[in-house]
Amino acid sequence: MALTDTYTLSNGTKIPVVGFGTWQTPDGEIAYQAVLTALKDGYRHIDTAEGYGNEASVGRAIHDSGIKRDELFVTTKLDNSAHGYAETKQALGESLSKLGLQYVDLFLIHWPNPQAFRDNWEEKNAQTWKAMEEAYEEGLVKAIGVSNFRPKHLDALLKTAKITPMVNQIFLNPSDLQPSVVDYNDAHDILSEAYSPFGTGKIFQIDGLKEIAAKYHKSVPQLVLRWHLQHGFLPLPKSVHENYIQANTDIFDFEIAKEDMKTIDGFRGAFGLAEDPDTVPF
Ligand SMILES: NC(=O)c1ccc[n+]([C@@H]2O[C@H](COP(=O)([O-])OP(=O)(O)OC[C@H]3O[C@@H](n4cnc5c(N)ncnc54)[C@H](OP(=O)(O)O)[C@@H]3O)[C@@H](O)[C@H]2O)c1
């Protein structure tokens, strides 16, 4: 396996097995340099969102990298303020314009029930999804999916959807494997993308990981990224440091033994579980 290896989504679209995360990567020089570095180091999959406020810098780095568009996989997400049919179309147009792209490879509903639509999230998601299906049919997006959706949100969406989401991007790391969501995704041929693969840095609080990583002569982040791949997840590691960005690519020359996979699975709750999407204050 290598960074350029792919999973295949339910519609046949190929998606590189590791994506580069950009949440909390400030717009401007930091986001530009981080993404440019990642592309230089071989990442071919970039994960951004309207809500991260850095699409313009991400787009600039993509453009300046000189890498052919069809060799890249770019994801962006619909902002929580933009649920609805017309709003979704407008938001996608704005994201494409900021990114300077004709299409994105994957467009996700960022959140199932933002506070603003908590009374009518089901109806809003149905309208949003219709707009996303049309964007897919028009070729503005090569794949469509969701993020932070639990089975009940997906069940609701599937009542009116013509196309089943191809991806569900969720909080996944040794502190929470979200088995009920992953099982649902698997049963519906929805790829589980792992956001916060290092728990936004909290992974270093788990002492037991250091011992296991040392056994394989790897760092904790490298061990954890490998653990994600062996689970069939698609991790989205984020960093703004060149040495970390590069180190996080060195994960393809070892195999974690079954018993160590189990030990890592057993750290559930070590630094908390995924937030409940129905009650978050945003
Ligand atoms: N859909 C959603 O709702 C959602 C939510 C959260 C995240 N995401 C996506 O998932 C991506 C990743 O999640 P995340 O941003 O929460 O963070 P993460 O990838 O779990 O962890 C990032 C943290 O780990 C540090 N780090 C990375 N590699 C390291 C290494 N080799 N050694 C030491 N430290 C290292 C980073 O440091 P530095 O940054 O200082 O280099 C940063 O503090 C996001 O960027 C975003 O694209 C999506």
Do the Cβ atoms of 180 and 206 come closer than 8 Å?
A: no
What CATH number has the domain spanning 6-265? 3.20.20.100
DSSP 213-270: HHHTT--HHHHHHHHHHHTT-EE--B-S-HHHHHHTT--SS----HHHHHHHHTTTTT
Task: Show me where the domains of the chain are located.
Answer: 6-265
Kindly give the number of the ligand 1 atom that is closest to the alpha carbon of 22.
45
* 167-171 β-sheet, strand order: 20-21, 45-47, 73-78, 106-109, 144-147, 167-171, 191-195, 234-235
Residue of 23, 148, 178 to test ligand 1 pocket, by largest number of atoms within 8 Å of CB? 23
Q: Which residues surround ligand 1 with Cβ inside 6 Å?
A: 21-24, 47, 110, 147-148, 169, 195-201, 219, 221, 236-241, 244, 247-248
Question: What is the chain's pLDDT, residue by residue, as a tens digit (282 residues)?
Answer: 899 999 999 999 999 999 999 999 999 999 999 999 999 999 999 999 999 999 999 999 999 999 999 999 999 999 999 999 999 999 999 999 999 999 999 999 999 999 999 999 999 999 999 999 999 999 999 999 999 999 999 999 999 999 999 999 999 999 999 999 999 999 999 999 999 999 999 999 999 999 999 999 999 999 999 999 999 999 999 999 999 999 999 999 999 999 999 999 999 999 999 999 999 999
